[in-house]
Amino acid sequence: MASARTASCSARFATCNWARARPRSFTPIGATAPSITPNRQGFDMPADEIVIETAPAFYKIFVADLDRSIDFYSVCLGFREQRRIDAGKFDEVILAPAKQGASVVLCRWKDGRAIDRGAAQGPTGYFVADVDRISARMIDRGAQTALGPVDYAGMRIAVLTDPDGHQIELLARSPATSPE
């Protein structure tokens, strides 16, 4: 069943009735929040459809050995254990980054089933200060090198697999591409 908004849309997004640009408005602190909020493109979006934050909150990966994986991600990338959760059929360990960014949630099946990674998942990328140093630390902890470290597109990159076979891409911005 199509909503009224969907039904009023033509095949072209720009002609959707609900997506026509309206002037941006300012709501003072303490005022009632508007039911329509402008997004970056200037189109208004119903308040209940807005994503709070577009940065990923976490990445969840299944591993064979929680302790080995906690050690790997803590020592190599600076994550800290925040919480352990009994999720019924599997255990979860939430690892938070040292500064900011997405958490890594490590999961292990309680019944010991094999990890099925599939073929559609690419690497999880991390910006680091020194790709070569972090790559060496990861290899010391059981990672395998898939690529590099190499200079590519103004950055230093390396792709490795963690002890469970998950790909990790390390990137270091060159001074010319750094946001600072």
Q: What is the DSSP letter of 135?
A: H
- Please indicate whether the domains covering 52-111 and 123-180 agree at the CATH topology level: yes
10 Å CB burial of residue 158 (0-12, 13-18, 19+) is buried
What residues form DSSP beta bridges with 52? none
Distance of CA 176 to the CA centre of its chain: 25
Task: Name the fold adopted by 123-180.
Answer: 2,3-Dihydroxybiphenyl 1,2-Dioxygenase; domain 1 (3.10.180)
**DSSP string across 3-21:** -HHHHT--SSGGG-GGGSB
pLDDT digit string (tens) for the chain, length 180 residues: 444 444 433 343 343 433 444 444 444 444 455 555 554 555 555 555 555 555 677 888 999 999 999 999 999 999 999 999 998 899 999 999 988 888 999 999 999 888 877 665 778 889 898 999 999 999 999 999 999 999 988 889 999 999 999 999 999 987 654 454
pTM (predicted TM-score): 0.60
What is the assigned CATH class of domain 52-111?
Answer: alpha beta
Sorted by where each begins, the domain ranges of the chain are 52-111, 123-180
